[in-house]
Structure 1
Amino acid sequence: MEENVGILEGYQAKVYPQEVVDGTYFYKAAPVPSCCKVRICGNCKLTANKVLKLEQYPIPTLDDLLQTAKGGQKYSKLDLSHAYHQIELDPSARKYTTINTHRGLFQYTRLPFGIASAPALFQRTMESLLADIPMCRPYLDDIIVTGKNDEEHLASLKAVLSRLEENGLRVKQEKCTFLQPSIEYLGHGLNKDGKSPLLKKLDVIKNAERPTNQTQLQAYLGLLGY
């Protein structure tokens, strides 16, 4: 428990100055579940997700992304930093994201993890933002950019970076890749010839323990699908 509190303290200290959360009071607050992972989210299935209308928007498959990248010779991959937290919430919606922590109640000013519609909202936002730029496609917080030659590739890459800057969106530089003949993307290797499985992913599947209950089976099926 002390370790989890320390993680939460560190997270709060990091996001408060960025105006991601705001101290407040609201009649219904989501508890923050105990967890050893650093990513913090409220347990919204107990609060907001029960009553919110689920936003519907298709998340592209790997084959959809490959179709966009067809004909590409080199690849760039951009990773947005704290992606959901870069989407500002309307002030009237913020009270519904209230979380209950050991330091009191706080509401998000940016889109938080845990809201059921967050992936659809984020994907729609990113696709609308980049729709007119050729040979690029976002998959949530990952953006793939390519071109039939270096000139086209650089033109699209510059357009994407400019569009992100214009809209106040930041990338995580250490997780970005530029103009590479092959990249790792969504659990696969990707190059001009198409996709291929990553050996390290195959090893994980081969070495996975046999599921013995429904929860383990769901996790295993998710591993196979990814």
Structure 2
Amino acid sequence: MNQLLTVFNGSTIFSKIDLRGAYNLLRIKEGDEHLTAFRTKYGSYEYSVVPFGLTNAPASFQNLVNDIFADFLDVFVVVYLDDIMVFSSSEEEHVKHVASVLQRLRDNNLFAKASKCVFHASSMEYLGYVVSSDGLKMDSSKVQQILNWPQPKKIKALQYFLGFANFIFVS
């Protein structure tokens, strides 16, 4: 997350695009479909696209979007799996950036889920943080979760809390 502070530096306007059915857009290599076979009482089936739950699905999808947006990454786009953040320092620039991203999605037969997209905002939540021209801040719900955490009474409960708090601190 510290890298994002540098990437977003000077940005004042943000858009977030959430991809629809992300993993189901990845075609399984022809000839490898049998590796996903399963059997029910109604017969045997094989996936032709990547189902949720395959070990390498997230890495494969991240590679796909990294390749698609390679020339945009860290210039005006950050992508984490199916969440795309577009950032710019001016409204005029942002309109061009968003149009470029949407065109790139269209060119690659990727589609956004409109109900989960946010366009042209001065701040927004992204990956558990609030992004704005002021930088990255922890989402207030995460801070509230720590403040409301019950006092641990056992070692295991303390370890759980410290793990959660460390995750929040490190990220």
Q: State the TM bucket, normalised to the shorter chain.
A: 0.7 to 0.9
Distance 1:222 1:90, change over 3 A: farther
Is residue 173 of structure 1 aligned with residue 114 of structure 2? yes
Q: Given residue 225 of structure 1, which amino acid in structure 2 is its aligned partner?
A: F
Q: Residue 143 of structure 2 aligns with which residue?
A: 202
Unaligned runs of 5+ in 1: 1-61
8 Å CA contact 1:66–1:194 kept in 2: the answer is: yes
Q: Which moved more, 1:82-91 or 1:168-177?
A: 82-91
Q: Is the 8 A contact 1:181 1:192 kept in 2?
A: yes
Q: Distance in 1 between matches of 2:154 and 2:21?
A: 35
Given the alignment of the two structures, is residue 129 of structure 1 paired with residue 59 of structure 2, yes or no?
Answer: no
Q: Does 1:149 align with 2:90?
A: yes
Correspondence for 2:30 among 68, 91, 96? 91
Q: When the two structures are aligned, how many residues end up with a matched partner?
A: 165
- The residue type paired with residue 67 of structure 2 is S
The one-letter code matched in structure 1 to 2:13 is K
The aligned amino acid for 1:96 is L
Shift of 1:83: 1.0
Measure how far apart 1:130 and its partner are: 0.7
- Note if contact 1:74-1:179 (Cα within 8 Å) is conserved in structure 2: yes
1:225 paired residue among 156, 167, 171? 167
**How far, CA to CA, are the matches of 1:114 and 1:219 in structure 2?**
28
Aligned-residue identity in percent:
32
Deviates more, 1:147-156 or 1:103-112: 103-112
Relative contact order (C-alpha < 8 Å, sep 6+): which is higher?
Answer: 2
TM-score normalized with structure 1 length: 0.64
**1:70 match:** 9
Distance apart, 1:214 and its partner CA: 6.9
Deviation at 1:222, TM superposition (A): 5.2
Change (3 A) 1:89 1:216: farther
Contact 2:8-2:135 at 8 Å conserved across structures: no
Distance 2:6 2:157 in 1: 34
Hey, what's the Cα distance between the residues in 2 that align with 1:223 and 1:101? 43
